[in-house]
Amino acid sequence: MTSLLLLCSLLISAQYRFEITPDIEEAYDYAMSLRKTEAKKKLQYIKTADPNNLMVLLVENYLDFFEIFINEDESQFDELERNKKQRLQQIENAKVKSPYSRFVKAEIILQWALARMKFNQRFTAAQEIYSAYNLLEKNVAIYPEFLLNKKSLSILYALAESLPGIVRKVFGVDGSIQRGTEEIVLLTKLDRDVASVFYDEISTIYAYILSFQNNDKHNAWTFIKDRNMNIENNPLACFVLANIAQKNGLNDKAIDILSNRPNGDNYEKFYYLDFLLGKSKLYRLEKGADEHIKVFIDNFRGEHFIKEAYQKLAWYELVMNNNFVAYKKYIEYCMDSGSDLVDEDKQAKREAKSKHVPHPDLLKARLLYDGGYYQRAYRLLITKAYLFQKGSIENIEYNYRMGRISQALNNPRDAIQKYGYVINIGNKYKSYYACNSALQIGLIYESQSDYRKAKEYLKKCLKMSPDEYKNGLHQKAKSALERIDEKE
């Protein structure tokens, strides 16, 4: 009898399962804090002490995801991709009847889809998004009370709206930013104990959807700063808070976060944070901003934001040193360095090809505006108005900058007047000024609940096809139109 009980006990203990144990929590925390060596050591311990806990597969996948997403090394992507197939097969073979089975598979697939986008593998990424979407929809049907379904579904619903129409049609991914917001907001109401290891991740998803897709930057910042993310020991948390602070015009706060981020040998190098710090210091026209940007250029081995980094060095020389020779040297690097898949890199390359040197005062105003120093930017432009003659592209940019600053200073009447001038005069140029002016007027009218006028200008935005920032501007206009449809 004793032998039979022992055998039953051994059979039960040999069964695979998904469990978020204290050891898993610790490994996950190391992974999310970019402490790869410590995370791997902890995972190896778990595999020995708790070999049947399949939750290690998800934590391992996070490590691969962050390594690829941060370093952007395509050969590394190709090497690590086989881990994805092995993990999914291991889960499939285990046949664990648990809501975590499909959830973990969907998480692994979604992370690879997001990583794949770094290398412009959009069609395969769309296939993976569809696969993750199907897994989670099935999980909702079988385990409707399993709340973590909503974490990944919120991303998928929000992503669906940014996919090309033909891709959505072929793969049948149904979703919207509104639906994504509704899914994740329910999880934000859970306390840290109930949300378990995913508390900060849930917070980040919600803040990003609020800020970048719902255009609700203020509430995004209010929410994320109150979630007490661990910026003392987590570079990713620093990235999230600094990014959202900067988008809210809290540039000094962003600089403080980035300057004091953890940066020891036990953390993976995250050179984009050096670039973000350099840009933030450039926004307040600070000497030495270029040093941080150079750290990024000298050490980062990926392809994205390289052109933009050289453009920012060129701008630094123009606004800080009045050095046109150095400006031309750095802007030339935008032609052949890095890739031009993201809008910022496309714009940098376009500036290099145009051979047009920005007016230093307009560029200073732009940088000050981007940093949230609206009064400084306003004073600068008011004193320089005489320089910009009517009919020139610089006059259009001047009015556009004044419109942006007036809007930020909560003077919508002046903003609409300036934007209207830009739309009427500037649409013959292929710059983004007229397109974004139409978008901003639409957003102003949306905030005033004048939905008829808002739709009129948002549709104007969609009819324009600027050389710069077209995809981003059109996406914001589409999101605004969807929000309005929900409100009406």
pLDDT tens column, 176-232? 777 788 889 989 988 887 777 999 999 999 999 898 878 789 999 999 999 999 999
Domain span including residue 39: 15-146
Q: Could you tell me if residue 130 is inside a domain?
A: yes
Q: Find the farthest-apart pair of alpha carbons in the chain and give their distance in angstroms, rounded.
A: 99
Torsion, Cα of 441, 442, 445, 451 (10° steps): 160
Q: What are phi and psi of 245, to 5 degrees?
A: -60, -45
* Amino acid in the structure at residue 227: R
Tokens 């109150």, located at residue: 226
Geometric angle at alpha carbon 36, from 30 and 40, rounded to 5°: 85
> Tell me, what amino acid is at 148?
L
Compute CA 125 distance to the chain's CA centroid, rounded to the nearest angstrom: 17
d(CA 188, CA 223): 10
Q: What whole-number distance in Å separates Cα of residue 244 and Cα of residue 413?
A: 27
How deeply is 386 buried, as exposed, middle or buried, from its count of CB atoms within 10 A (0-12, 13-18, 19+)? exposed
Return the amino acid letter for 261: R
Tell me the C-alpha distance between 446 and 121, whole Å.
36
The residue whose two tokens read 């096809």 is 465
3-state SS, the chain, equals: CHHHHHHHHHHHHCCCECCCCHHHHHHHHHHHCCCHHHHHHHHHHHHHHCCCECHHHHHHHHHHHHHHHHHCCHHHHHHHHHHHHHHHHHHHHHCCCCHHHHHHHHHHHHHHHHHHHCCCCHHHHHHHHHHHHHHHHHHHHHCCCCCCHHHHHHHHHHHHHHCCHHHHHHHCCCCCHHHHHHHHHHHHCCCHHHHHHHHHHHHHHHHHHHHHHCCCHHHHHHHHHCCCCCCCCCHHHHHHHHHHHHHCCCHHHHHHHHHCCCCCCCCCCCCHHHHHHHHHHHHCCCCCHHHHHHHHHHHCCCCCCHHHHHHHHHHHHHHHHCCHHHHHHHHHHHHHCCCCCCHHHHHHHHHHHHCCCCCHHHHHHHHHHHCCCHHHHHHHHHHCHHHCCCCCHHHHHHHHHHHHHHHHCCCHHHHHHHHHHHHHHHCCCCCCHHHHHHHHHHHHHHHCCCHHHHHHHHHHHHHCCCCCCHHHHHHHHHHHHHHHHHHC
87-139 pLDDT tens trace: 999 999 999 999 999 999 999 999 999 999 999 898 898 889 889 999 999 99
Judge whether 93 lies within some domain.
yes
Residue segments in the chain with a per-residue pLDDT below the cut of 50: 1-13, 166-167, 170
Backbone angles phi, psi at 17, to 5 degrees: -160, 165
pLDDT of residue 5: 42
pLDDT of residue 105: 98
Residue indicated by tokens 């890739």: 339
Q: Does any domain span residue 31?
A: yes
From 145, 75, 87, 143, select the one nearest 111 (Cα to Cα). 87
Q: Which amino acid is at 143?
A: Y
Please report whether residue 51 resides in a domain. yes
Count of domains forming the chain = 1
Would you tell me how many other CB atoms lie within 10 Å of the CB of residue 427? 19
Report phi then psi at 453, rounded to 5.
-70, -35
Is there a domain that residue 440 lies in?
A: no
Task: Tell me the C-alpha distance between 126 and 132, whole Å.
Answer: 10
What's the pLDDT at 282? 98
Cβ of 18: how many Cβ atoms within 10 Å? Answer: 21
pLDDT at 151: 92
Q: Is residue 88 part of a domain?
A: yes
CA angle 226, 478, 305 (to 5 degrees): 65
Residue 79 forms part of a structural domain: yes
CA 463 to chain centre: 26
The pLDDT of residue 161? 62
Does the residue 380 lie in any domain?
A: no
pLDDT for the residue numbered 270: 96
